[in-house]
Amino acid sequence: MLATSALDDTLIDTLAQRGWVVSDELISPELHHGLLSSCRQHWDAGDFKPAAVGKGKALARHPRIRNDSIYWIEAEQAQGPVRQFLDWTETLREQLNRELFAGLKSTEFHFARYPQGGVYKKHLDQHKGQAHRSISLVLYLNQTWTDDDGGQLCLYATDDNTRELARVLPQAGRLVLFRSDLVPHAVLPCSQTRWSLSGWFRTDATLLPVAPL
């Protein structure tokens, strides 16, 4: 398998029609191992910060809503597996623009670490009144994960956010794409440290100087 693959027609159609899609085939084991190493190096270097919720003046830590820590990837300095991943997301952005929606202009990605007991309560990734985040991407990095470890990503219906559509186990190399504006989702409590790489395809070209989610 190549280190990374393009989305095939089925994945593209599913994303277009259903608003979310899961694939275990897009990122090679070598690449997600490399990303996990890089993620852990940033953790060991003390680069992660507790994640906040909200925006602008309302931005604050709410550990009962989410208690992960994140490290925003600096694209200009990215090397090795991170560079390879970011280059792939550029190809993906072009593919999504070509085959689905025009107008994805930029991306942003962070590593995330949920401690034991980590959660992220139900939310949408698009801030109210700000349509910049269009497609969300999550790639799971733990090498082993079983049902007993919890930490599933729960996806809910757009028209009824109490109706659960799927529970995605955060297994190594599994990648989820979903509409940031339409798919409510939550991270269920996990019982081992949970590592991931997540980010957004945006419809604006440059990031506003605000702290993201």
Q: Which does 179 bind (CB under 5 to 8 A by kind): ligand AKG, Fe ion, none?
A: none
CB of 123 to Fe ion, least distance (A): 6
Which of 119, 198, 202, 212 is close enough to bind ligand AKG by CB under 6 A?
198
Whole-Å CA distances, 184 to 48, 86, 92, 195: 25, 25, 23, 21
Spell out the long-range contacts of 145-148 with Cβ–Cβ below 8 A and sequence spacing 24 or more: 145/169, 145/170, 145/171, 145/172, 145/192, 145/194, 148/191
Per rule CB under 6 A, count of chain residues that contact ligand AKG: 10
Task: Indicate whether 125 belongs to the interface with ligand AKG (CB under 6 A).
Answer: yes
* Residue linked to tokens 């792939």: 88
Q: Are 114 and 188 in contact (CB under 8 A)?
A: no
80 φψ region: left (φ > 0), alpha (ψ -120 to 50), beta (else): left
Site residues for Fe ion, 123-142, by CB under 5 A, read 125
DSSP one-letter string for 101-115: -S---EEEEEEEEEP
Cβ nearer to ligand AKG, comparing 23 with 198: 198
132 binds ligand AKG (CB under 6 A): no
Comparing CA positions, the residue from 170, 179, 171 lying closest to residue 200 is: 179
Q: What is the 3-state secondary structure (H, E, C) of 143-196?
A: CCCCHHHECCEEEECCCCCCCEEEEECCCCCCEEEEECCCCCEEECCECCCEEE
Interaction partner, residue 183 (Fe ion, ligand AKG, none; CB < 5-8 Å by kind): none
**CA 19 and chain centroid, separation:** 15
Shortest distance, CB of residue 153 to Fe ion, whole angstroms? 9
- Please identify which residue in 104, 119, 138, 172 interacts with ligand AKG, judged by CB under 6 A: 138
We find the least distance from the C-beta atom of residue 9 to ligand AKG, in angstroms, to be 25
Among residues 42, 174, 185, 202, which is the contact residue for ligand AKG, using CB under 6 A? Answer: 185
Residues in region 163-192 near Fe ion by CB under 5 A: none
139 touches ligand AKG by CB under 6 A: no
**Contacts with Fe ion, 96-125, as mask; x by CB under 5 A:** -----------------------------x
- Chain contacts with Fe ion (rule: CB under 5 A): 125
Q: Which residues bind ligand AKG (CB under 6 A)?
A: 112, 120, 125, 138, 153, 185, 187, 196, 198, 213
